[in-house]
A and B are shown apart, each in its own frame.
Chain A
Amino acid sequence: MPHQCTDCGRTFEDGSKEMLSGCPDCGGNKFQFIPADAVDESVEANSPGDPPGRSSSAGAVSKAATTVRDWVGGGSDEPDRPSNRDRSSGESPPGEWPKSATEDYDTPAEKAAARTGDEPAAGANASATADTTADASTTDTATADAQSEAASTTHADPDSEDGTIQARTAGDEDNAQASARSDVVSPDELPEGTATPPADASEADDANAAESGAATDPEAPGVAGPSPDVTDDRHEAADPADTQIEDRPDLDELRDELNQQFESIKILNPGQYELNLMELYDREEYIISLREDGRYVIDVPDSWRGDD
């Protein structure tokens, strides 16, 4: 179940419609996307206020590889993540690594993975490269750090237009962590990069410690903060959250309406329809006209009864 409500933790299958109008349980409209193999780590990773500890390098590295694969593969297996593709296609010149690819990695190792994945210019086998680099980086943190510095300086400028990135000037490690932690909330609530205290040196130490100590224990205590799941979340949750805020008042009705509209009449092609009789029977309003573009005209119950 790749989608998870960041408020109550309820999870949804990939492609689920239930969350289209917010979480049915708590009404929350921020969700994170969790690849199935990372679900177990998501709960610990989910508290933005946690100290900037290190999540396991194993999880981080695999996440880096996964994300790199997503980018390189065009995200074809992630139909629910249009923002990913938008960014990669819209803001980065060909061959340059998309901006969030570098800043989203919160450990030097991840950056290294991303960076190394970048250098083959997003070729078809870049994901394989990323994988091997990710593995290597767990034992070669010095190189990873160096590469991460290089990566961040290279890509600092294109990011400046995005509100979540503005803190980058204060230092790459800080910014990466800041965005990683803060992207479970809306960009408005994003703290300044300088407000995220750890200096580069301590970050590197953290990273080293995590990579050497927690490589075999993905759930190591005290390493809650900026886990890869949170970084991944930014693509999924932050953008839709902004647009859904004004929809809050009638979430229940909206959800019901959406679900019913999806299910009662399926327009396969113009002139070809599948009907869900139970849904048609159960719905209170009444479809009086179908449009070729898939829309209906409905008669809402009040006006129906008013006629009667």
Chain B
Amino acid sequence: MYKKLNNHLISILFVGILFFIIHIIFPAETGEEKYSDFSMIQKYTELEFLNLNSPEDRLLLREALEIYDPQNTSSHDSLLAEIERYLTNRMYATADSRELSQVIDSDKFVTILSMLIKFAAIYILVLLVTYYGVETFAVYRFVRDQYRLSFFKSMSTTAQKLADAHDLKTKSTYFFKMFGKTGRIILKALITLTLFAPAYVIAYSFKTRFDTDSLILMIILGVISNGLLITYMQKYYTFLVSESRKGYVQTAIVKNFDAGFIFDKESGISLSSIFRLNKKFPGHIFDQIYENVRFQYLNTLKEQASFLITGLIIIEMALNIQGHLCYELMQNILYKNLSVVLIILFGIFLIVKMTQIVIDTIVFIHQRRIGNISSEESG
């Protein structure tokens, strides 16, 4: 454990020093240097008769270029696009001049720190919610799959019964059953599409309905979007399936251990125990399966946490959620404020490392509890 902890601390130190060196090597740019990239439009900004702020003037410029050089339509488009970007950039730079200053004073540092804390708080909350969701839905699916027929089998059985039915009443009953099953599969498909949709697709779909800048919406998007929930639920489910095939489970079943999987039956598993925060299945074989899988999943949790951070960064950046860490990061990349970019990146790196340290510690404690650890590992 100490070896792992040392590795994490050395990584943090290494990245810290590396960022500091980058900060020293690449000093801050002056205001003039920032706009030197707009080389394509510099000659047009100097023309007195051309007002780039006017849409009519820009259209006239475009038409003039088309007449002068009809072959290069794409480069004219690029030029117009660059003019618009230059104007937007200049407008934002004026509006946000205080926030986007190069100097990192104590105020700026506190602002970034508060953003980082807010980001970390959202991340922890979403991680806990997704972990609960992943675990609960995987357990629910595992229990349900023990006795439920597959969709096509169930549909073909009902279709067969419909074909065999002689009276109208039975026929209509099976017809409505088929109708209900089809409806359920369509609903399931819609939910699956939503769960796999990137956060920005969901957010823009609802932008006219909700306040997409709200913190709650960000948390909801973090949980349901980007395929996080469904992907890791599948991984947890795979762990459950492979664990349930192990020898000790088969031995326990042969020895008459409780192994019924029908919901809310005397020998089955109650729904309330699946949805509980602290899941326990006393007297049931699944209790042991669940305990073992929970431990195995801890290493995948690191992966889940890393993917979640990626998802949250995408949400903040793609939705332009102002006042949040990743929006600030994006703005500072845009204005080449390297020092702020490095501080924010280091903050995000620290969050990832802290997660890894916490999970490694939990694994270590668990391994020590079950006595599955060598002295070398503990030392």
Partners in one complex: no
Where the two chains meet, the residues of B that have a C-beta atom closer than 8 Å to any C-beta of A are: none
Where the two chains meet, the residues of A that have a C-beta atom closer than 8 Å to any C-beta of B are: none
